[in-house]
Each structure stands twice: as C-alpha cells, then as structure tokens.
DNA sequence: GACCGTTCTCTTTTT
DNA sequence: GAGAACGGTC
C-alpha cells in the first residue's frame, strides 16, 4: 500500500512538511515526531514532483538512522527511495572525496585514520621531529589539533599565545602531522569534513556540480553540527536555498568535539528569511517523565524556551535506587529488571541501562551475567578495534593504499617474520632521508646496509604483498579475502600459539570473514575500498542488534535518538554525572542536557541510581548524589530502598571466590580505606566534621582543604582525617 | 629478535 | 583496573 505523506500529521507537523519557500528550522522537542516529519517531507517532495529523489540530500547522525529513514520513505515512494542521498556527514563527505580528492593531490585510495592510527602517526612525527613534549601527551596534542581543525584554524593560521608552552609545541607539530597524513595518503575524521570545503574553494566547478545535485538538503540533529559541517551545508544550499534543518537545542551534547550550539540558536540570524517551526507535542513519554525532564532542563540558562506536553497519562513515578556501592547498584538494577519483567510483563529488550562513561559497563556486565539477564553492550570495546581484526584491516589498507605507513608499520613484522627493530630503524632512516614512504623504502632494500638475513626477510615480505596484490585483480573480493588470510599466516600463527586467547582470536577472524560475506551480499559495489570505508565510518549504534531480546547498555551519548519503555540511568553521583573535569557553568549545562537526553528516552518508566562508594581508576571514592537528582520535582520521585527482594539479600555476604558461579548476594564490599574527594564529609579529632572543598595530591599525603563546621577552612593532610 | 613480567600512567563522551 | 611502555632474559 502506498501512503499519503500529508496524512497522519498534527497541524504543526503538517505545516512543517508542506513549507517549501526557502530555509526552514524545525525545533523538534524530544519524542515530537521528528523522524516522522523528515520522512513525510522527503516523501512529499518526491511525490509532488518538486524534487527528484537523486536531488535530495539528507544528513543523519548515524548510518543506522540513515537506513531507517530510507526504509520509512520507501513506504511512500517505493523504489525511488533508493536514489536519495542519505548518510552521516562523514560518509557523505567520504563519498565526495573518493571521487574528487585527486584535485587536492591525494589518491582516491586514501586511508581514513581512526584514533589509534592518529596516535601512532603523531608519535612517529614527534620522534622524527626532535620536538620535546615537555610532559604533555601525544593525546593532548592530537586533541588540540582536532579542536583547531574543527574551528578551521590551519597550521599556517595558528599562532600560539605568548608564554603558552603547550601551544608552541602544537605549533611545531600541527604542520608536521598534517604533512605526514598527506604523505601517507591518509585523512583523519576532521579532514573528512574539511577537505570537501577546500575542494569547493579550489574548484568552483565542483561546487556547482554538487549544488546541482543536492537541490534539497535536510539535516537532522542540527544542534550538534560543527563549523565545517555548517559551512558544508551552507555552501551547498546557498543557490537553491532549499534547506530544512531539524534539531533541539536542549539535546546538544557534542560541544566537546566542536559542535556549535550557535548554529541552531542563530539560524534565524544566519538566514533572515527563514521560517521557524516548533514541534512541542510529545508522543513518547508519560507526563511524569516529561515533567521531570522539563524540570531538570529548566535549570539551563542558554536555551530556547519550549513547553513539551503529552496526551498520555501521568504514568508511574520515577524511581530512585540508592545503593551502597557500584556492585550494589548493579545488583539492585538487576533485581528491578527482574521485578518489572515479572510484574509488568515486560521483556528484556524493553530496558536500556544508560551511563556516563564506558568504564561503568564492567560491573554491570558482571552482575547481569550472574543474574542470567541477557544484555548487549553498545560501544565499549569495539569488534573492529580488536588486535587481530585491526591487523587484518591494516593489511587491507596497505594493499589498497601502499603509502599508508601507519598500517604498514603495524603489520610489517606481524606475524613475526624477522623484520625487527634494528631492520625497521634502518629502513626508516632511509625513508626519512630520501623522503620516501615506508613501502617505497622497502623496495630499495638492496641499497640498505642491512644483514643478509634482514634483506631476505624484507624481500619475502615485499614478494608476498605483490603476490596478494596481483591476486586481488583476479578474484572477487570475498573469495580474495578468504584466500589471503591464510596466505598472510595469521591463522597459522594463532593456531601455533594455542590457548584460550588464540581460540577467541581465531573465532573473531572467522566473524570478520562472515561480516565480509554479508557485506558482499548486501552492497552492490562490494570491493576492498568500500569495505574499508564502511568499517572506518561505522558508528556505535550501527552495530547494535536491536532485534535481539536483550537489555541494552550504552552511554548517554549513544542513546541519542533512541527510545525504550524503561530507562535506567545509573551512576548519578556528583563527579561522575555531572562529570567533574571542568566545573564551568557551560560544562554543567551540557551535562544537564545529557541527562535530559537520557530522561526523554523513556516511554513509561525511569529508574535513577546512585551509589555511595565507587571504584574509580582502582581507587575507592565516596561521591555524593548528583545535583541533577535534586532538580527533579520531589513529588515525581519515589525512593526505592525498601523494596522486597533487595532487602532479602542484603545480609548475605559478597564473596570474591567462585565469582563465575555465585550470583551476587549482597551489598558488603571487601573493605578498603576510604579516599577523600571533593565533596566528601570527613571528621578530624580536633576540628570535628567538615566538608572537603579541594584536594591536592594523592593518597595519604594529599592536602585537603576542608571547611569545618566548627572553625572554617583548614588545610589538613589526608591521613589525619577520617572519611565518613 | 621474541617473549614475558613489571611498572607506570591514565581515566569522558565519538565520528 | 587496563593498557602501554619498558627492561630483562632466553
């Protein structure tokens, strides 16, 4: 059945769908049918014959969302949906670059470097450059470079602030890093967005071409676009002025990676003739949930005021879980999930457990497993980041782009083939001297002063790569991968090694091959480059098997755009959520928006948990409840602490023995000395009770600034106070 | 050159 | 508590 895109919409949605006179901003509150509007709008454009499907560009936040959007549009326009350009910013830009990057002096087989590739590269750049990091970390340098790129500061433009040592180091390394990337024919995630801008600037004809192609542009999650993304869209839309952006300033949670909330807040200033639409009717959550979420986000100053409302009933109160420790927190979550399933006839996939940091998954995982609750972790240690998988992908990269030094370095001597440190540094020196890539240098092995054995090893490696490269032309991609994995000797290496770990790795290699098979059956042009691109642009959510009946575990960031009947937000402790890195009001506002995102994921029920003690980075920390808990109107929250089932298990002991067999049985943790953190309540023999306001140093010797009730602020060494 | 055990550091979120 | 880096041994 073919549907009508103007039906089943509320009046606000309908007018947003129908509006076609220039730039358009849709403020879409959580759960207000944003995807529906996008779907209907695209369908409307196509059905009414206003724009051809291949002249539409729709930008989504994940590849999964792109797929979903396409499927939903298909219900209206059938096969035509296949022609729409839909994707994330990164994948759309990658596609453009694959075609056009030669104008910028790269080859079209460029590699896309992920974080670990970038780290390897910057380390190499640092060691080749003799620049002293003075205690700063490669990671710090990278994140500053990324920040500069996100704000369009080129290596030439960047001027360090006088006296700022770090910025002088960055000034030295940034241009070298950029050169190294280019020499490796590689781009990082930031380049993916920047290079199209360069391209359009350098080749106006190309800009024209893409303007003609993308006559109608729609952008989802506009509140999280950064400057390059804004410019990309602005450039493309300038001519036809058919731009529709959808977003919610209350859900802007990526400012730390350059997202600029001003893009949405100042949209009307940017495009004076634009029309603004607001969608405020929520179809997702009960009223209690909405009231709680609104109450929280109302504490933010910098926002556009809007009032979400729902025709749904009040529903259940929010439930606060008070736990003694992080283990106890996980156990209580498990008990509550079981109870909900029993009493409310829910099923595992109705639940999502959301947290601020990935590190929190470990304990949750352990406890859920012991309670036989099936779960599914989104993000965390990713499949494609495992060593054995990364190694294979590195081989793929080298075979596609021989200039990719980082990948070549990774696999040159793995599995071990006699090209060790000595040999490598000899080749390396030669490469640096002659300005060659590592692979080119390997080809000149005869000129190098190396032992006979080393030369032979290198020659054998080169011959193998050439052999495999030849076979690439002759075989279909899938068949080729199966053959070369054996030829590379990775399987036999792990088989020889033996042990649990090797078995797991071999299984992962098989899983990769399965993934490739699946890729080949679902993608039309399945080849090496397409596969590498898919893998490097995958988002966390893309790999989520949402049809499985399991509880979903993910960070609050990953949960954006999703919904679940029951949402459990854990770790609501001051210092963890909001995370205390930078206590500026701006940072707290973003954390609060993140909490708002979490709350508004829920359709029917919310559990909020905090734990008094948590193990953080190997240390026990006592953290007070999150301020966010106090921002929820009191009458909407019910404290759980006395519910049956939890209490029954409370007196039993927690045992470290038989950890794999025994279910978690209580709340007692192995005791450890308590550590004072900011906010801890401590007592001192003479001064009495006080609150820690600052901590300098670590362990027993840390100097604590304590505000005592009796006598004001004093500085005391940690070992003289007791943490309550 | 490979391997193994130890020390050290660093802990946000992700395309 | 995990991963990387380092240093020592075979």
pLDDT of the residue at A668? 34
CA distance A319 to A335: 13
State which residues of chain A have pLDDT below 50.
Answer: 642-673
SS3 A436: coil
pLDDT of the residue at A646? 43
Judge if the beta carbon of A39 is closer than 7 A to nucleic acid strand B: no
Tokens encoding A56: 């539409």
**Strand C proximity list, CB < 7 Å:** A 116, 123, 362, 381, 615, 617-618
pLDDT of the residue at A18? 93
Measured from Cα to the C1' atom, the residue closest to B2 is: A416
pLDDT of the residue at A645? 39
Tell me the CA–C1' distance in angstroms for A647 and B10.
Answer: 37
User: What counts of helices (H) and strands (E) characterise chain A?
Assistant: 26, 21
**A606 Cβ partners below 8 Å, 6+ apart?**
A289, A292, A318, A319, A566, A567, A568, A569, A599
pLDDT of the residue at A165? 85
Q: Where are the alpha helices (DSSP H) in A81-161?
A: 89-100, 115-129, 138-150
Its pTM stands at 0.86
Active-site annotation of A, residues: 34-35, 220-221, 251, 601
Judge if the beta carbon of A461 is closer than 7 A to nucleic acid strand B: no
* Burial of A279 per CB tally in 10 Å (0-12, 13-18, 19+): buried
CA distance A560 to A545: 16
Tell me the CA–C1' distance in angstroms for A191 and B1.
Answer: 38
Using one digit for the tens of pLDDT, what is the confidence trace for A72-115? 999 999 899 999 999 999 999 999 999 999 999 999 999 999 88
Tell me the CA–C1' distance in angstroms for A711 and C6.
Answer: 49
Using one digit for the tens of pLDDT, what is the confidence trace for A374-415? 999 888 767 888 888 888 999 999 999 999 999 998 888 888
pLDDT of the residue at A708? 67
Q: Which nucleotides of C are covered by protein (CB under 7 A)?
A: 1-5
CA dihedral A477, A478, A480, A486 (to 10 degrees): 150
Judge if the beta carbon of A422 is closer than 7 A to nucleic acid strand B: yes
CA dihedral A27, A33, A35, A37 (to 10 degrees): -70
SS3 A41: helix
Could you tell me which of A415, A461, A418, A417 has the C-alpha nearest to residue A438? A461
Judge if the beta carbon of A341 is closer than 7 A to nucleic acid strand B: no
Tokens encoding A292: 């709680």
Judge if the beta carbon of A257 is closer than 7 A to nucleic acid strand B: yes
CA distance A139 to A150: 16
């Amino acid at each position: 059945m073919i549907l009508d895109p103007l039906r089943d919409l509320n009046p606000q949605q309908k007018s947003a769908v129908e509006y076609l006179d220039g730039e358009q901003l849709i403020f879409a509150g959580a759960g207000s049918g944003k995807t529906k509007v996008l779907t209907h709008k695209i369908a409307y454009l196509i059905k009414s014959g206003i724009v051809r499907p291949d002249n539409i560009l729709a930008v989504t936040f994940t590849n999964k969302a792109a797929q979903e959007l396409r499927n939903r549009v298909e219900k209206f326009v059938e096969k035509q949906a296949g022609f729409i350009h839909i994707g994330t910013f990164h994948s759309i830009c990658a596609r453009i670059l694959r075609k056009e990057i030669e104008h910028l002096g790269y080859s079209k087989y460029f590699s896309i470097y992920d974080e670990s590739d970038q780290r390897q590269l910057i380390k190499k750049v640092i060691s080749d450059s003799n620049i002293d990091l003075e205690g700063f970390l490669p990671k710090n340098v990278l994140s500053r470079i990324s920040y500069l790129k996100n704000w369009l500061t080129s290596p030439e433009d960047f001027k360090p602030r006088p006296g700022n040592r770090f910025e002088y180091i960055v000034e030295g390394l940034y241009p070298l890093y950029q050169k190294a990337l280019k020499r490796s024919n590689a781009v990082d995630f930031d380049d993916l967005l920047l290079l199209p801008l360069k391209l359009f600037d350098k080749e106006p004809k190309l800009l024209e071409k893409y303007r003609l192609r993308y006559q109608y542009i729609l952008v989802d999650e506009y509140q999280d676009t950064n400057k390059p993304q804004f410019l990309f869209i602005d450039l493309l839309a300038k001519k036809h002025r058919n731009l529709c952006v959808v977003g919610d300033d209350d859900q802007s949670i990526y400012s730390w990676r350059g997202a600029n909330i001003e893009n949405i807040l100042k949209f009307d200033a940017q495009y004076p003739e634009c029309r603004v639409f607001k969608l405020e009717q929520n179809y997702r959550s009960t009223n209690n949930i909405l009231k709680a979420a609104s109450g929280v986000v109302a504490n933010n100053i910098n926002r556009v005021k809007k009032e979400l409302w729902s025709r749904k009933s009040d529903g259940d109160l929010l439930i606060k879980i008070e736990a003694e420790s992080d283990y106890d927190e996980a156990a209580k979550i498990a008990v509550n999930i079981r109870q909900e399933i029993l009493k409310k006839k829910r099923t595992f996939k109705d639940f999502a457990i959301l947290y601020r940091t990935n590190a929190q998954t470990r304990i949750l995982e352990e406890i859920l497993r012991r309670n036989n609750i099936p779960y599914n972790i989104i993000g965390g240690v990713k499949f494609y980041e495992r060593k054995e998988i990364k190694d294979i992908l590195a081989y793929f990269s080298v075979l596609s782009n021989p200039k990719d030094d980082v990948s070549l370095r990774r696999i040159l001597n793995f599995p071990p083939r006699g090209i060790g440190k000595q040999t490598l540094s000899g080749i390396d020196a030669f490469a640096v001297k002659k300005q060659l890539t590592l692979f080119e240098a390997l080809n000149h092995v005869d000129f190098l002063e190396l032992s006979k054995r080393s030369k032979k090893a290198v020659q054998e490696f080169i011959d193998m790569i050439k052999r495999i490269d030849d076979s690439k032309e002759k075989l279909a991609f899938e068949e080729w991968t199966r053959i070369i994995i054996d030829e590379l000797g990775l399987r036999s290496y792990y088989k020889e090694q033996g042990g649990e770990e090797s078995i797991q790795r071999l299984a992962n290699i098989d899983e990769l091959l399965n993934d490739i098979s699946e890729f080949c059956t679902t993608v039309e042009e399945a080849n090496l480059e397409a596969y590498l691109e898919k893998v490097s642009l995958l988002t966390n959510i893309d790999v989520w098997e949402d049809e499985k009946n399991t509880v979903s575990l993910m960070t609050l960031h990953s949960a954006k755009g999703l919904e679940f009947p029951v949402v459990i937000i854990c770790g609501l402790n001051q210092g963890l959520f909001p995370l205390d890195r930078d206590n500026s009001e701006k940072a707290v506002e973003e954390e609060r928006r993140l909490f708002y995102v979490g709350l508004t994921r829920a359709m029917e029920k919310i559990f909020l948990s905090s734990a008094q003690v948590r193990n953080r980075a190997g240390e026990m920390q006592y953290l007070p409840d999150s301020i966010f808990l106090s921002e929820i109107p009191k009458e909407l929250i019910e404290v759980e602490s006395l519910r049956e089932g939890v209490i029954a298990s409370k007196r039993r002991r927690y045992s470290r023995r038989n950890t794999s067999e025994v279910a978690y049985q209580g709340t007692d943790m192995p005791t450890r000395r308590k550590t004072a953190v900011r906010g801890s309540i401590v007592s001192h023999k003479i001064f009495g009770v006080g609150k820690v306001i600052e901590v300098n140093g670590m362990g027993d010797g840390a100097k604590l600034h304590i505000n005592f009730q009796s006598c004001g602020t004093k500085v005391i060494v940690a070992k003289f106070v007791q943490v309550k």
